[in-house]
Amino acid sequence: MMYGNSWEKYPIEENEIWSYKENFISVQDITKGLPDYMYKADMIYTDAPWTLGNVNMFNKKAGRQKMNDYKEFYSHLFLHIKNVSPKVCYLEIGKENINLFITKMSKIFSYIEQWEIKYYNKFICYLIRGGNKPFTGKDLNNYDDTLTPEIAILNENPKKVADLCMGRGLTAIASHKLNIEFVGTELIKRKLAVFIDKMAKNNILYQKQ
């Protein structure tokens, strides 16, 4: 099975908030809004769907309707980034829409940086940083995206990190490792259950509120 039996052990559903101390997660379609807890973050790191095809692949897995235009997704993504108003935001993106993402980030943040990174240690993608202050941290060029969330968090030293598209929780895992509070949302409940299961094996027990 793609996601194993994690959801059978941790059956998280929409309209539920699961938490561990001051860390909060939920199943959420971000085109419908964000939970209030997300607005406490001062840093965002998100690997959002890069194209309309990606969006619809995830919508299908989540049992949701197909979208006809990528703007139906990204308009909400950038509205949420603007409204959360973090001091810094990192977005992973493929080459297809990198210029779009840079333009959108430039309307929210004063300083924009860009790095070429990898996924699966071989495919090229890009990491964009938008910030209220210039970047002064460790260069992220050529790192695999399994490592970049942790490096970015170390660079920025935030109080609370948010991820709007958690997947199986790579950014959340990095936050926990660094003892930084985390908040997040994910469209596919079985993916989110994989994260909860993984954390439980490390005695970090997310529970339904």
pLDDT tens, residue by residue, 30-63: 999 999 999 999 999 999 998 988 888 888 888 7
Residue 154 belongs to some domain of the structure: yes
- CATH number assigned to the domain comprising residue 59: 3.40.50.150
In a domain, 1, yes or no: no
Q: How far apart are the C-alpha atoms of 87 and 96, rounded to whole Å? A: 26
Please, what is the average pLDDT of the chain? 95
**Residue 2 confidence class, pLDDT cut points 50, 70, 90:** confident
What single-letter amino acid sits at 157? N
> What is the chain's length?
209
Pair of tokens at residue 129: 């940083």
Burial of 174 from C-beta contacts in 10 A (0-12 / 13-18 / 19+): buried
Give a yes or no: residue 18 inside a domain: yes
Q: Which two tokens stand for residue 111?
A: 């300083």
pLDDT of residue 57: 84
Flag whether 100 is in a domain.
yes
Query: Could you list the residue range(s) of the whole structural domain that residue 73 is in?
Result: 6-133+140-208
Number of domains in the chain: 1
Residue 112 near residue 104, CB atoms below 8 Å: no
